Amino acid sequence: QKKSREESSGEGSGVEILANEPYSDGPGGSGQYTRKIFHVGSHIPSWFRALLPKAALQVVEESWNAYPYTRTRYTCPFVEKFSIEIETYYRQDAGQETNIFNLSLAEKRQRI
């Protein structure tokens, strides 16, 4: 919250929280769902910002937090087919588990 408040300084900046609610029977079981819009226009040079549509100056974050599992997806309304998803498991093994997501051998070979 502190970081969001610090980043909110005028037009085209800040974080807009659209949803913050519990869920059940979702990713990881039951947990907390959040949906936020990051307005990033103030972090882009004004000459470049003038060339972009408003939808390109936003990043949408959806997050499902069902500790010890979380899934977070980032999208940009301007580029509908592009998204980044991050899955995280929190374990007390200092990162020693070699296949935390139970990937098949074919999936393991595709990793970069």
Per-position b or e across 12-49, b if 16+ CB within 10 A of its CB: bebbeeeeeeebeeeebeebebeebebbbbbeeeeeeb
pLDDT tens for each residue of 44-66: 767 766 777 676 778 899 999 99
CA distance 52 to 83: 19
Q: What pTM does this model have? A: 0.72
Going from the C-alpha of 36 to that of each of 70, 75, 105, 106, 111, the distances in angstroms are 16, 11, 36, 35, 29
Query: Is residue 5 within a helix (H) or strand (E), and if so which, with residue range?
Result: helix 2-7
Asked if 17 contacts 5 with a C-beta cutoff of 8 angstroms, the reply is: no
The DSSP secondary-structure symbol of 104 reads -
End-to-end CA distance of the chain: 34
Band of residue 6 on the pLDDT scale cut at 50, 70, 90: low
Could you tell me the domains of the chain?
3-110 (3.30.530.20)
**CB atoms near residue 9 (< 10 Å):** 10
pLDDT tens for each residue of 76-107: 888 888 899 999 988 888 888 888 888 999 99
